[in-house]
Amino acid sequence: MNEIAGAPSFADVVETYAPALLRLAVMLTGDQSDAEDLLQSTLLRTVRHADRVADMTAPSAYLRQVMLNEHLSAGRRLSRRVRTVPSDAVTTDPAVPSGAETVDRRDEAWAWLSGLRPQQRTVLVLRYYEDLPDAEIATVLGCSESTVRSHAFRGLASLRERLNPSVGGDPS
Amino acid sequence: MTDDQLETLLRDTFTSREPLADPDVARRMARSVGAPARRWPAYVAAAAAVLVVALVGAFLAHGHDAQEPPVVDPTPPPATTATYQENRALAAAESARVVELVPLPESATRLPRKPAGWPGRGMISSPADASLAETAWWSVPVDAGSLETYLTAHEPGGMHREEGFGSSSDLEGHVVRYLSYAQDRSTTPDAYQPVSLLVQWMADGDHTLVRADTSTAARDVRTPETYVDGEVTAVDIDRVVPHPPDNQRLPPVHLTAPDDSADIARLVDAVNGLPASIKPAFVASCPYPGDPRPFVTLTFHTAAGTVVAHLETACWGQVEIRRDGQPVRPTLDPGDLTEVVEAAVGNR
C-alpha cells in the first residue's frame, strides 16, 4: 500500500488484478503463452497512466478495457510463437462440422473457440465467462447491443452445429 | 442441445481452462511492471532532491569537460567461435534428448517403429527444421484414461505444458489425444530454437499407444557486426503500431544520454542479447497486417556512425541490422524486443 496516504499504489493495483486479467487473457486468446503476452502488453500500456490508475476507485473495468483493446488490435493476432498441433486437428472454419466424434465436449468447444473471429470470441467470453450484460458488452466493444446478441446467437448456433453436425443449424 | 445447455457448456469450458492462468505468474509480471511506478515516501523524495541539488552544485563548482559527450558504452560483443554446423549438432542432440523425456509409467515399452493401427497422422510445427525432428513410440499397459491421469501429474523436466489436452479423430473412429510442451526459455541456449514436444496417445485394446515428436531448428551465428558497439550518445525510435482499422505511426522518440542513459542501455542490451534467426529460412503465410505495415526501428548513434535495428513486427518478422546504411547478416530473432521498446518509451 502507499506509504504516504494509505491509498493503493499502481503496483498494488496491478498486482491485485493481474490474476483475474491473466484468466481473462487465457479465455480471449485460448493459449497460455499468448495470454501472458497479452497481460504483459496490457500492463505496459497502463503503466503510462500509473498515477491515474492508482487513483481510480474501480480500476478493474479500465484494466479490462485496455486488455480488450490490446487483444482486438491486429497485432495481437499475429503471433510469432511456434505452434505445434496435429495436422488433422487444425480447424480452419468453425462453422464447418468436423464430422468427428468428440471425446470431451469441453475440449471440442475449446477447439471451436480457437477458430472464431476475435470479436465473436470476445463477446462469448464477456457474456459467459465475465457474465457481463449485453449492454455493457456493447459499451466496452463499441458496438450495438444487437451486434452483441447477433454474435452470441450465431456463436451458439455454430457451436451446436459443431457438436451435432447431423442436426443442422445456422451455418454462420 | 438447447441454448441453455450450450451456455452451460461454454461456462464450463471457460472455467475448466482457468488453470492455464497461473496467478503467481500474473503477480510476478505485475510486480515487474508496477515497481518502477511505485511512489516514494515524501522524505525519500526530499532527500533525493537535496542530493540532486548537491550534485549539481558540485558539478558546476568544479566545471565540466564539454569535450567529452555523455555516452552509453556497451559491453564489447562476445567472442564466439561457434558455427552453424555446431549449433545444428547441438540442436540434434537436444532433440534426441527431449524425445526421451515423455513422462510415462515404468511399465511402458519402447517400440522400435510405428505400430500397426496408428492412424497416419503427422504434425505441423512451423517454423522448424524437419530434419531435426525425432519421433519415438511406446506401448503402455494401461487404458488411455489412466495414462492421461498420469500425464496430468507428471511433466517433462525443463518443459512446460503449452495447452490443455486436445483430441482429434478420423473417419475410421481412431481417437487420438495429445498434449504439447515447450522448453522453458531459460534452459535454451542461443544455438537452437526451444524444442517443442508433442505427445499423442491412442487406446489399443487394454494398452495405450504413445507417440512423441520433437521439433526445433538451429540458429545462425551472430557476427560482431550485428552488435551495437562503441559509445552510444543517442537513440531514435520510429514505430508503426497495429491500430485497426488503420495502423498508426507514432511520433518519433529521441533518447539522449545522459538523461536517458538507463533506457538507452536497456535498448542496447536488448538488441545485443537477441539470438540469431533460425536456419533454414521459411515462408510464412499470415493475415494482411494492414497499412502501413507495423514496424519498430531503433537507430543507435555512436561516435563511429549509426547502427539500425529494424523489425517488421507482423508475420514472424526478424530484426535486420544495418550499419551506416548497409545491411549486415544474419538477421536476429526478435524475442521480446518490442516489449522492451515499449517499456523504454514509456509515456514519452
| β-bridge pairing B166-169 and B159-161 | unpaired
Closest chain A C-alpha to B98 CA, distance in angstroms: 15
Same domain, B57 and B108: no
Q: In percent, how much of chain B has pLDDT > 90?
A: 40
Tell me the C-alpha distance between B174 and B166, whole Å: 14
Q: Are A74 and B290 in contact (CB under 8 A)?
A: yes
- A93 DSSP assignment: -
Q: In percent, how much of chain B has pLDDT > 70?
A: 79
* Helical ranges in B41-143 per DSSP H: 42-62, 84-98
Per-residue CA distances from A135 to A68, A138, A148, A150, B16 (Å)? 16, 5, 8, 13, 27
Same domain, B102 and B188: yes
- B134 DSSP assignment: -
B9–A105 C-beta distance less than 8 A: yes
Check residue B284 and give its pLDDT.
63
**Class of the CATH domain delimited by A1-81:** mainly alpha
Closest chain B C-alpha to A32 CA, distance in angstroms: 6
Domain boundary among B193, B215, B237: B215
Same domain, B188 and B257: no
Which residues of chain B have a CB within 8 Å of the CB of A27? 14, 17
| Residues pairing with B160 in the sheet | B182
Same domain, B307 and B327: yes
On whether residue B324 sits in a domain, the answer given is: yes
Q: What share of chain A is helix, strand, coil (3-state, %, to 5)?
A: 65, 0, 35
- B225 DSSP assignment: G
| β-bridge pairing B166-169 and B135-140 | unpaired
Check residue B234 and give its pLDDT.
95
Which residues of chain B have a CB within 8 Å of the CB of A50? 34, 37
Tell me the C-alpha distance between B154 and B108, whole Å: 15
Strands (E), chain B: 109-111, 123-126, 135-140, 159-161, 166-169, 175-183, 196-204, 207-215, 232-241, 248-256, 295-302, 305-312, 319-323, 326-332
pTM over 0.90: no
Strands (E), A68-169: 83-86
Q: Give the amino acid at B121.
A: R
On whether residue B130 sits in a domain, the answer given is: yes
Three-state DSSP class for B54? Answer: helix
Tell me the C-alpha distance between B206 and B1, whole Å: 33
Compute the average pLDDT of residues B241-251. 83
Compute the average pLDDT of residues B217-223. 92
Same domain, B242 and B151: no
CA A6, chain centre distance (Å)? 34
Which residues of chain A have a CB within 8 Å of the CB of B170? 88, 100
Tell me the C-alpha distance between B272 and A160, whole Å: 51
Task: Identify which of A128, A159, A160 has the shortest CB distance to residue B11.
Answer: A128
Closest chain B C-alpha to A132 CA, distance in angstroms: 13
Per-residue CA distances from A140 to A14, A168, B35, B195, B289 (Å)? 20, 33, 28, 39, 24
Task: Identify which of A4, A12, A49 has the shortest CB distance to residue B41.
Answer: A4
Burial label, A72 (beta-carbon count in 10 A; 0-12, 13-18, 19+): middle
Q: Give me the interface pTM, i.e. the ipTM.
A: 0.81
B34–A11 C-beta distance less than 8 A: yes
Tell me the C-alpha distance between A128 and A109, whole Å: 13
Largest CA distance in chain B: 88
Tell me the C-alpha distance between A44 and B192, whole Å: 29
B153 interface with A at CB cutoff 8 Å: no
Same domain, B232 and B201: no
Check residue B232 and give its pLDDT.
93
Same domain, B237 and B318: yes
Tell me the C-alpha distance between B194 and B224, whole Å: 24
B27–A128 C-beta distance less than 8 A: no
B174 pLDDT more than 60: yes
Same domain, B116 and B139: yes
Query: How confident is the model over B114-171, as pLDDT tens digits?
Result: 888 787 655 555 578 878 889 999 999 999 999 999 998 999 988 988 876 777 665 5
On whether residue B74 sits in a domain, the answer given is: no
Listed by start position, the domains of chain A span 1-81, 100-172
CATH of A100-172, one of 3.40.50.410, 1.10.540.10, 1.20.120.140, 1.10.10.10: 1.10.10.10
Domain ranges, residue B32: 3-66
Domain boundary among B198, B215, B232: B215
Task: Identify which of A12, A18, A76 has the shortest CB distance to residue B29.
Answer: A18
Q: How many CA atoms lie within 13 A of A147 on its CB side?
A: 14
Same domain, B209 and B307: no
Query: How confident is the model over A64-84, as pLDDT tens digits?
Result: 988 998 888 744 444 333 333
How many other CB atoms are found less than 10 A from the CB of residue B206? 8
Same domain, B180 and B101: yes
Q: Give the amino acid at A61.
A: A
| Angle (CA) B71 B77 B82, round 5° | 170
B279 pLDDT more than 80: yes
Q: Are A146 and A137 in contact (CB under 8 A)?
A: no
Which residues of chain A have a CB within 8 Å of the CB of B31? 11, 15
Phi and psi, residue B113, nearest 5°? -155, 175
Going residue by residue through chain A, which has 172 residues, state the pLDDT in tens, using 9 for 90 and above.
333 345 578 888 888 888 899 999 999 998 887 888 889 888 888 887 788 888 887 788 889 988 998 888 744 444 333 333 332 333 333 333 333 333 468 888 888 898 888 888 999 999 999 888 999 899 888 888 898 999 899 989 888 888 876 444 333 3
Which residues are CB-contacts of B292 (< 8 A; sequence separation ≥ 6)?
A: B240, B247, B249
Number of domains in chain B: 3
On whether residue B338 sits in a domain, the answer given is: yes
Binned at pLDDT 50, 70 and 90, residue B209 comes out as very high
Tell me the C-alpha distance between A107 and A34, whole Å: 19
Q: What is the dihedral of CA A69, A75, A79, A80, to 10 degrees?
A: -140
Binned at pLDDT 50, 70 and 90, residue B61 comes out as very low
Task: Identify which of B7, B34, B125 has the shortest CB distance to residue A10.
Answer: B34
